[in-house]
Every structure is written in structure tokens, then in C-alpha cells.
Amino acid sequence: MALSAQQVPRWFNAIKLSSFVNATQVRKRFLRSRKTLLYGFSAPPMSSDNCLLQWGIKTYRTSSLWNSSQSTNSSRQENNSLQSTLLPSVNKQPQKIPNADSELSLEGLEDLPPLSPLQPVSEEEAIQIIADPPLPPVSFTLRDYVDHSETLQKLVLLGVDLSKIEKHPDAANLLLRLDFEKDIKPILLFLKDLGIEDNQLGPFLTKNYAIFSEDLENLRMRVTYLQSKNFSKADITQMVRNAPFLLNFSVERLDNRLGFFQKELELSVKKTRDLVVRLPRLLTGSLEPVKENMKVYRLEFGFKRNEIQHMVTRIPKMLTANKRKLTEMFDYVHNMMSVPHHIIVRFPQVFNTKLFKVKERHLFLTYLGRAQYDPAKPNYIPLDRLVSIPDEIFCEEIAKASVQDFQKFLKTL
């Protein structure tokens, strides 16, 4: 059951893999080949472990045997150990006859009886015995395979966080099977063309490892679709960076989402575009919370349509905020602080802050007698200055007190 690299990405979704990272078929992806050791041939060197051979003959990457002088670095004995017993179709071959793989060509194959392990061997053959510990056939972590897989090493050097990816066993299995040159490189080059910098590729791939199973043609088509909707190149780069899963969505789905936002908010095309560029996860997230929030603003809070439009263009995050937190914040600002609707519309940042911050600062200002939020009266404090500035500047300029006084007051609450 030899899977080729091209077949794996397309139908890995269809096969149900075991819950562990399965290293069986990874052998072909490993670093340059070992000298494969076969038993009982004078010309090629010998294998040490008997049991390994019983699992079948493995993994020759190239068709010819490499000379001992060519084997350079740290590659381990990839072959026999990797045949997992989990797969039902284990290739059990008799030891003497090599696998009928076309990749393999050995000279001087003969029908020899198996040799006993106690037979004395020559010094040269002894030196060429590879007795490295075998790779575990299944594992829950990618640490066991990272030193033997060029793909994984290059990904780590790019900055991809493997410890997060190994929590998703399907993704980890996929990455082990992929070949860096053939599968991963084209997608990386495509991402670089889009404008994503080298140091941003790591976090991007950590979030969206599924992009490797996407077809490059589909990805290009989606980018052309976005360009046809008049998103500039820089816009698309920013959107893809902030919402890594954007390009995994089909063109119809993206179209539906854009249409939904245009209809729901009744904004002009340019404003919808700006909104989506600022918060691209609107396109990748679920639409139910957005519909709920729109109802809350209109019916529960009593904002008018143009007021909601104004607030949403200023703070797009309002569309995806938590309903309960929004209600608590509006209740406090409108009922406790007595701030009317038209002033809240001018400062939608209040919906983006934590409730305790607003509460503490408002109570401090009330204690000092400076809690005045009506622009018509003197000593007016705008709401955005109440919430958006750090503590030191707030104490100095708005409350006209020291930070120690603020802390002492907090301990009396």
C-alpha cells in the first residue's frame, strides 16, 4: 500500500486514519536514503535486526544502492521498523526475495538460506551494521519524527508551531506524508506572492495547516475572485494575514458572505469592502452571532439603522461581540451613567472595553465629583477618553488625581 505524494493530499480526508501519527508510509519522505541493509548479500551491507526483516522489505528512495561513502548525515534506519502492525495490508515478504518494487534494483540477488545471527561477520560488515533505535510506528507527538523528516525540520525553521499542530492528529499525519519540494514549496511560493512576509508564514501555517490540502488552482481562483471585487493586492494580503482560513472558503461561500453583509448592513459597496478588510474574520466566522447582535442593537437597545451603520463602520468588532457582555455594558452606561443614545453612538468604543474598567473609572470620577458626560455642560468628559486611555494618563488628565489615589480608591470598592 504505497501511497504516492500526489495521491495523499487529495484523499486523506476520505480515509479514516488511526488516532496516532502513523509513520508507516512516511519512510519515503525521509531524508536521504540510508544504505539499505539487506540480509545475506555479499555486495550490500548487512542488516542487524532479524525482526525488522520479517516485517517486509522497505524503502528505497532511489533505485540504486548508495555507496557507503555517500551516506552523510543523521538519517536513521528508516526502513523496516516503520511498517506498522496497525495497517491490515502489511507487506510480509520472505526474507530472501526482495520486494517487487520497481524502485529497487539490487545486484546479485540469490536464493540464499537465512543466516543465523550467531554467525561471525567480518570487521567491515560489522562496522556497516546499523543498530539505531527504530522510529516508533505510532506516536502522540511529532518530536519523535522531527529529526528524521526534512519537511518537519524546514517547517520548524520557518516558525511553524508543531506543538499546536500535533494536537490535531489528521494534520500531523498529513504533514509527515508531504514532501517539502513537491507539495509544500508551491503553496509557500503562492503565499509569498500574495505578499505574506517570511516571518509571518510561521504563525499563518500554524493556524491554517489545512491549506496544504487545498488545490493550488482553487486558491488562485479565489484570489482572482477577490481581485475582481476590487480588493487591492495589499487589502488581500492584510485579509489573508488576519484571517488565515479565508482562502479555504470556496468562491460561492465568499460571495454569499459578502452579499449577506452588504444586504444586512445596507452599506455602500466601498464601505462594506473597508469593513471586511478591517475585520476579515467576518467572512470566515459564523453568521448567526452577527444576526443576533443586529437584532439586539435594533430591538433591545433601540438604536436606529443609520446609528448602527455608523457604529459598525467605526468599530467592526461590535458585530461579533458577546451578546451578554454587550447587554451588561449598555445597561451600565445607559442606566447607571445616564448617557443617552446619541452620545453612545458617537463613542462606540464603549462596546469594545471590559465592563470592570468602565465601572472603576466611573465610580472614581463620581467620588471626585467629575462624572460629567453631557457635552452641553462644563467639565465634560468624552466617553472615548474614559475607556481608551491607559491608567496613568487617565488619572493625570481626566481625574486630576494621582495613580496612588486611584489604587487606594479601588481598595475601598
Partner 1 sequence: MGSAGLARLHGLFATYKPPGLKWKHLRDTVEMQLLKGLNAGKPPAPEQRVCFLLGPMEGSEGKELTLTATSVPTLTNHPLVCGPEFTSLKVGVGHRLDTRASGVLVLGVGHGCRLLTDMYNAHLTKDYTVLGLLGKATDDFCEDGQLVEKTTYDHVTREKLDRILAVIQGSHQKALVMYSNLDLKTQEAYEMAVRGLIRPTNKSPMLITSIRCRHFAPPEFLLEVQCMHETQKQLRRLVHEIGLELKTTAVCSQVRRTRDGFFMLDDALLRTQWDLHSIQDAIQAAAPRVAAELEKSLRPVLGT
338 binds partner 1 (CB under 8 A): no
Of residues 147 through 166, those in contact with partner 1 by CB under 8 A are 147, 152-153, 156, 159-164
Q: What is the distance between the alpha carbons of residues 84 and 22, in angstroms, rounded to a whole number?
A: 8
Nearer to partner 1, 310 or 357 (CB): 357
Decide: is 73 part of the binding site for partner 1 (CB under 8 A). yes
| Among the listed residues 32, 26, 20, the one whose alpha carbon sits nearest the alpha carbon of residue 62 | 32
Among 101, 150, 214, 391, binds partner 1 (CB under 8 A): 391
270 binds partner 1 (CB under 8 A): no
| Alpha-carbon distance values, 96 to 111, 303, 351 (Å) | 6, 82, 74
Residue 285, CA distances (Å) to 6, 299, 355, 359 in order? 31, 23, 25, 31
Q: Work out whether 198 is an interface residue with partner 1 (CB under 8 A).
A: no
**Which segments of 103-144 does DSSP mark as H helices, in order?**
123-127
Count other Cβ atoms within 10 Å, centred on residue 258.
Answer: 20
Please list every residue from 79 through 138 that binds partner 1, using CB under 8 A: 124, 127-128
* CB of 364 vs partner 1, minimal distance in Å: 13
Q: In the bound complex, what is the minimum distance in angstroms from residue 266's beta carbon to partner 1?
A: 38
Cα–Cα distance between 289 and 247 in angstroms, integer? 22
Farthest-apart Cα atoms in the chain, separation: 104
Nearer to partner 1, 147 or 374 (CB): 147
- Interacting residue with partner 1 among 16, 74, 122, 378 (CB under 8 A): 74
Q: How far is the CB of 242 from partner 1 (least distance, A)?
A: 22
Provide the minimum distance between the beta carbon of 163 and partner 1 in the complex, in angstroms, as a whole number.
Answer: 3
Residue 129 CA to its chain's centroid (Å): 41
Residue 402 touches partner 1, criterion: CB under 8 A: no
- Grid-cell match 452577527, residue found: 290
Which is closer to partner 1, CB of 68 or CB of 218? 68
Determine if residue 379 is left, alpha or beta; phi over 0 gives left, psi from -120 to 50 gives alpha, anything else beta: left
Binding letters toward partner 1, positions 167-186, x by CB under 8 A: --------------------
Cα 154 to its chain centre, rounded Å, is 16
Contact 34, 76 (CB under 8 A): yes
Q: Of 65-73, 266-274, 315-323, 338-346, which part binds partner 1 (CB under 8 A)? A: 65-73
Q: Residues in the site for partner 1, rule: CB under 8 A?
A: 35, 68-69, 71-74, 124, 127-128, 142-143, 146-147, 152-153, 156, 159-164, 356, 359-360, 391, 407, 410-413
